[in-house]
Amino acid sequence: MQVIRASAMGMCFGVRDALAAARAVDAPTDTTIWGELVHNDGVRAELAARGFEQRAESDRGSLPATTQVLITAHGIAERERERLRGAGHRLVDTTCPLVARAHAAALQLAAEGRHVVVLGKRDHVEVAGLTGDLASWSVVGHLSEVERWPHSRLGVLCQTTFQEIEARRLLDAIVAANPHADVVFRDTICEPTRQRVRALRELIDAVDLVVVVGGRHSNNTRQLVASVVKGGRRAIHVERAEQLDPRDFAACATVGLTAGTSTQDEVIDAVEAALRAMPATARPRPDADAVSRAPGAEDTARSAASRT
Ligand code: SF4
């Protein structure tokens, strides 16, 4: 069976760097990871085996017992950073630079006297960090959450992994619902997210179905699955190669492969190998070759990030 990999997929540089920083910690038994470093059971087990304490995002009210605290790529509010430092904890901060850029944008909008509106998922850990230092803010994830706010100045920005099309739709709705307000928009969607969306769009047109590899609890993996379905193709979501069922690929010649940002390379490679080992039962789509030759995009993402 022909398998086409999305030209951008899997772990972004922000998650890779955070994981590398965690692996480099030399006192794991005296370190608490402040939230989920990666939504990936294999990585969580590896970190647990080294002795890290891993604090659930929903359980960060009380202070950790360890001396050291590792902040994940999702970032936290400055107020929370100060609380941890004030209690004597040493911080290993792996906040992604593109999340830090979104924090700076939120603070700048607030400094301009604007009510800050974050386009994102209300209960997402990154959004909690983005809003944690603000006095006046709202979170909008759906059209139903758009309001007519009483403020005369609004500042809109995005969770870094928000979908661009959805952001534009919500921004238009906010402007329409607040004709009295001066609305400023800061597009803080990160480049790796844009590249993954673009790559998936190209892939969908060239394949019979798309296999999405990633954790069941990974928000961006679930978004990929939804995008495939929205694009008119069947999506098969697996966490590892053993979950593939050959019956799903009957009458299928060309399969697309993509993965969430918490998926390790070796897991993606194993899924690809298992797919290639399945016999083809139909002819490949005529447009498959063009996409399979498309260049990778992660290097572009890295250089864009390093400019921030
Ligand atoms: S902001 Fe983008 S690059 Fe950074 S960790 Fe999040 S998804 Fe990855």
Distance 303 CA to ligand 1 centre (A): 14
* 209 plus 285 within the same structural domain: yes
Q: Is 308 a domain residue?
A: no
- Which of 151, 171, 189 corresponds to the end of one domain? 189
Whether the CB-CB separation of 11 and 195 falls below 8 Å is answered with no
Distance 278 CA to ligand 1 centre (A): 34
Which atom from ligand 1 is nearest to the alpha carbon of 305?
Answer: 3
Ligand 1 probe mutation, 11, 126, 193, most atoms within 8 A of CB: 193
State residue 258 phi and psi, 5-degree precision: -140, 175
Which pair of structure tokens corresponds to residue 209?
Answer: 């179905």
pLDDT band at residue 110 using 50, 70 and 90 as cut-offs: very high
Q: Is 148 a domain residue?
A: yes
Read off the pLDDT of residues 19-61 as tens digits, 9 standing for 90 and up. Answer: 999 999 999 999 999 998 987 888 889 999 999 999 998 889 9
Q: Is 304 a domain residue?
A: no
Which pair of structure tokens corresponds to residue 162?
Answer: 């928000």
Which pair of structure tokens corresponds to residue 98?
Answer: 């593109």
Which pair of structure tokens corresponds to residue 195?
Answer: 């590249």
- Determine the pLDDT at residue 297: 40
Whether the CB-CB separation of 280 and 208 falls below 8 Å is answered with no
Ligand 1 probe mutation, 160, 162, 224, 303, most atoms within 8 A of CB: 160
Whether the CB-CB separation of 18 and 96 falls below 8 Å is answered with yes
126 is catalytic: yes
Q: Is 69 a domain residue?
A: yes
- Determine the pLDDT at residue 285: 52
* 128 plus 79 within the same structural domain: no
Bigger pLDDT: 301 vs 183: 183
Whether the CB-CB separation of 305 and 98 falls below 8 Å is answered with yes
Q: Which residues line ligand 1 (CB under 6 A)?
A: 12-15, 73, 96, 98-99, 160-161, 190, 192-193, 261
Q: How far is it, in rounded angstroms, from Cα 211 to Cα 213?
A: 6
- Atom 3 (ligand 1) nearest CA: 14
Name the pTM for this structure: 0.86
Q: Is 282 a domain residue?
A: yes
- Determine the pLDDT at residue 304: 37
- Determine the pLDDT at residue 154: 98
List the CATH number of the domain containing 157.
3.40.1010.20
- Determine the pLDDT at residue 280: 66
Furthest C-alpha separation in the chain: 64
Give CA angle at 24 (20, 30), nearest 5°. 120
Cα separation values, 30 from 36, 91, 119, Å: 17, 12, 36
* 295 plus 198 within the same structural domain: yes
Q: Find the domain containing 42 and state its range.
A: 13-95
Read off the pLDDT of residues 165-202 as tens digits, 9 standing for 90 and up. Answer: 999 999 999 999 999 999 999 999 999 999 998 999 99
Q: Is 162 a domain residue?
A: yes
- Count up the domains in the chain and report the number: 3
- Atom 2 (ligand 1) nearest CA: 190
Bigger pLDDT: 282 vs 306: 282
Which pair of structure tokens corresponds to residue 135?
Answer: 């006095």
- Which of 189, 213, 245 corresponds to the end of one domain? 189
Choosing from 36, 53, 126, 239, the catalytic residue is: 126
Read off the pLDDT of residues 223-248 as tens digits, 9 standing for 90 and up. Answer: 899 999 999 999 999 999 999 998 89
* 175 plus 197 within the same structural domain: no
Contacts of 225 (CB under 8 A, 6+ apart): 212, 235, 237
Distance 247 CA to ligand 1 centre (A): 35
Cα separation values, 34 from 14, 58, 206, Å: 16, 10, 41
Quick one: what percent of the chain has pLDDT higher than 70? Answer: 91
- Which of 43, 70, 95 corresponds to the end of one domain? 95
* 48 plus 70 within the same structural domain: yes
- Determine the pLDDT at residue 1: 85
Q: Is 288 a domain residue?
A: yes
Ligand 1 probe mutation, 9, 11, 12, 103, most atoms within 8 A of CB: 12
* 72 plus 145 within the same structural domain: no
Helix axes 219-230, 191-206, angle to 10 degrees: 40
Q: Is 78 a domain residue?
A: yes
Dihedral (C-alpha) 239, 36, 103, 107: value to the nearest 10 degrees?
140
Which pair of structure tokens corresponds to residue 296?
Answer: 């990778």
pLDDT band at residue 293 using 50, 70 and 90 as cut-offs: very low
**Paired residues of 54 in beta bridges:** 33
